[in-house]
Structure 1
Amino acid sequence: MAGAKYPWKVAWITGASGAICGEIARRLAAAGVTIAATARPGGKLDQLAAGGEGIKAYPADVLRPDELKATVAKIESALGPIDLALLGAGMYAPFDIRNIDLDGFHRSMALNVDGVINAVAAALPSMLARKSGHIAIMGSLFGYAGWPENGSYGASKAAVINLAESLKLELEGTGVAVTIINPGFVDTPLNAAYDPKKKLYVMSKERCARKILEKLGGKPYEIAFPTQVELFLKTVRSLPRALSFPLIRWFARMMQG
């Protein structure tokens, strides 16, 4: 980790108090990247900043666009241009069709989608002016296809995947790269409410962060894993619905044992 080399000097990470982004922040900082860590004010953000040299706390709410723009201005004034914006603020809310949690759905869409575009709007202008930068967005494999009991999270990640595709097409030739990061289930507090029997090929936050950082420096459009789940969901996404729906039901039942 300490010997790794990355193409960024300054990385801005939203959702930095979360398990995956916190782990990425620590690994990048250990490799010499200066980290501007953003999350809502709290003990987790303070602990992250205190625990790693090169990690600076910039508390802000991603649902407040003006606050994010001011935060980016502070970061670039103090640390220099943001080379990498890793947008990872997010949440998971259970989805029960017999008792739909509307508040959970609305909060999921707000944090997982609005939080991303608010951060893009804050970081992108200076990147475009410099003709240089990298925007990486945390999505999910479960944004590729509908999944039982996953209506809130899946819908929000489907929106993020579509947004990333649009950004990729529009930013071609500007010098700004776009990466969508689509992991499967990661063992984090974010999805602790999800039925453990239905977590497909669950991985640790450490393994997830390592797999992301193995590829992110190359600025690919997509980083997706584990391969088995990625291939299955991308395949069923392209099939006629008369075939895809039974396959998803079968796969979901199989993973429950």
Structure 2
Amino acid sequence: MADKTYPWKVMWITGASGAICGEVARMLSAAGVTIAATARPSERLNTLVAQSERIKPYPANVLDPAALKETVARIEAELGPIQLALLGTGMYAPFDLRNIELDGFHRSMTLNVDGVINAVAAVLPQMLARKTGHIAIMGSLFGYSGWPENGSYGASKAAVINLAESLSLELHNTGVDLTIVNPGFVDTPLNAAYDPKKKLFVMSAEKCARKILAKLPRKPYEIAFPREVSVFLKTARCLPRAISFPLIRWFVKNLQS
């Protein structure tokens, strides 16, 4: 990626120690972008930072709004204005209909939704004041439609997609752009507990990061892939449930990869 140039000098990533965001950080740092990497203190964050002098650690808990605001202020004081924020903190909790694990559901909703809006609240005021900036939020294709054994994760990502739609409508003509990134199944530790037989069109974290970075500089509202799953779930979302529910069951049963 070193021969590739990007329009950003300073980027903030939350969930930087995760598989996808970590790949994005590595690729962009190799291309000359300075990365402010935020995650809870961990060996994974230390390992990421050690891979490039352009990746700077800014550990923080995304569930602490005050700490995030202080983190953004420090980043901008030390590195310069944040031009792109990739909000990627998230978790997956298994969902068993016959034994609903409430703690996992509540933690998923809290981290995947509150973690996003806390980061938006921390970085957006400065972008609005400058009348320039770009926020990218990690969603999921499975926020578009219900999916078997995916009640916790899918519900949280549906909330994130709705939030992104609302923010995008309000950000019109402010100079600040918003992108929702909706991948399908990615081979990461995040969803390792999900039934492998139901992971359709699985891709590597590296391939996912490359797909994101191929489109993100154009500031689209949405980046969604793989196409097969994206088109199917968006179509299912619009169909009457008497049609979409049997279709999804058929899809899961017959198009396993």
Query: What TM-score comes out, normalization by structure 1 length?
Result: 0.99
Give CA deviations for 1:183-227 in whole Å, capped at 9, x if unaligned. 000000000000111101000011000000000011000000000
Deviation at 1:53, TM superposition (A): 2.0
Give CA deviations for 1:111-170 in whole Å, capped at 9, x if unaligned. 100000000000000000000000000000000000111000000000000000001000
CA distance in 1, matches of 2:209, 2:115: 21
Deviation at 1:175, TM superposition (A): 0.3
Deviation at 1:256, TM superposition (A): 4.6
Code of the residue aligned with 2:98 in structure 1: it is: R
CA distance in 2, matches of 1:119, 1:150: 25
Give the 4+ runs in structure 1 shifted more than 6 A. none
Between 246-255 and 199-208, report the one with greater CA deviation: 246-255
**Residue number in structure 2 paired with 1:44:** 44
Matched, 1:108 2:117: no
**Residue number in structure 2 paired with 1:166:** 166
1:197–1:255 contact (8 Å) kept in structure 2: no
1:1-257 alignment, distance < 5 Å: 1-256=1-256
CA distance in 1, matches of 2:2, 2:64: 35
Deviation at 1:255, TM superposition (A): 3.6
Deviation at 1:252, TM superposition (A): 1.3
Secondary structure of the structure 2 residue equivalent to 1:70: helix
Work out the number of aligned pairs and report it.
257
Deviation at 1:249, TM superposition (A): 1.0
Give CA deviations for 1:18-59 in whole Å, capped at 9, x if unaligned. 000000000010111100000000111111111112000000
CA distance in 2, matches of 1:10, 1:224: 24
Code of the residue aligned with 1:138 in structure 2: it is: M
CA distance in 2, matches of 1:242, 1:179: 32
Query: What TM-score comes out, normalization by structure 2 length?
Result: 0.99
CA distance in 1, matches of 2:255, 2:63: 35
CA distance in 1, matches of 2:84, 2:209: 16
Secondary structure of the structure 1 residue equivalent to 2:220: coil
Secondary structure of the structure 1 residue equivalent to 2:117: helix
Secondary structure of the structure 2 residue equivalent to 1:217: helix
CA distance in 2, matches of 1:195, 1:8: 38
Q: Is there any run of 5+ residues in structure 2 with no aligned partner, and where?
A: none
Code of the residue aligned with 1:24 in structure 2: it is: V
